[in-house]
Chains A and B, each alone.
Chain A
Amino acid sequence: MKKVLVIDDNPTIVELIKYAVNLQGSYNVVVAYDGVQGLERVHAEHPDCVIIDVKMPRMDGYHLVRFLRGDARTADIPLIILSAMTREEDQLMGLLSGVDEYLTKPFKPTVLNAAIERVLRLTPADRQRRMDDLVQAQADRE
């Protein structure tokens, strides 16, 4: 069974996510309630996918994503941000940080499950291509 780590400081949202991901799929869900605890859980649990909130105590979601991507041991874990921050700039920050998908709250269980399935299929080469595209988009702006 695939393991999904949910990192969110709101216990109600955590319960909703746990319910949602098991509506269609069947996942072993583990939980952390802030960014630092999330970092610890990633190293301890070796999840197949991580769902991350942005605004959290101790370490925000963007930093957490960058710090995971910067270490070969965790660089290729599928990462999804699920956040109440809905502006285009917020989504761009997520993508620049290295997240695979940026979803907004409130969320539909079908959308979250589809995103999990998509990110589980990504390869390191897919991530490198996306990073190169983001860099090139930056060059086009300059």
Chain B
Amino acid sequence: MPGKLADNGQRPLRRLQVLVVESDVGSRERIQQTLVRDYLVQCATTLSEAWIQLETHPPDILISELVVGKESGLDLCRAIRELPSLQHLPIMLLTSLATIHDKVSGFEAGADDYVVKPYDTRQLLARIRLLARMKRLEERDN
């Protein structure tokens, strides 16, 4: 049931829960600041922290760097895709790595979207929302 219109005449969006996996403190804070108005944001700085969050507070969408300290966001993607319960979790790689090889590796590891830093704030906010919608469509099809 659609809710009331906001002041700008648009309907408010449900606040999706986003897990951000980012080891760099500056990047993490920037992403958090970007998302916090529209999304409920949880953060993890290592893969093990990410797993704890995934188990205790499963998010609607996961955003991860490719380089997480000395660990790899690709390993996180692969491990998530092996779990039936997380098979359909939308995964966005938000990274400073931008070669074709990086992108193909991200795709093969199971990422749904790949955004290269620096990102456009408005676009990022929209892409997260649309990615969640796409995954729901995919899930319904399978």
Contact = CB atoms under 8 A, between A and B. Distances in A.
B107 A93 contact: no
B112 A63 contact: yes
Interface in A62-116: 62-63, 66-67, 69-73, 75, 89, 92-93, 96-97
Contacts of A73: 98, 116
B130 A40 contact: no
Interface string B8-41: 0011111000000000000000000000000000
A140 B103 contact: no
A36 interface: yes
Give the size range of A's interface with the partner. 20 to 34
Classify the secondary structure of A's interface with B.
Answer: helix
B83 interface: no
Given A66-B114, A67-B114, A70-B114, A136 B10 contact: yes
Contact of B107 (A40, A59, A128): A59
A136 B12 CA distance: 9
A56 to B, nearest CB: 12
A138 interface: yes
Contact of A134 (B12, B122, B130): B130
Interface of B: 2-3, 10-14, 98, 100, 103-104, 107, 112-116, 118, 120, 122-123, 126-127, 129-131, 133-134, 137-138, 141
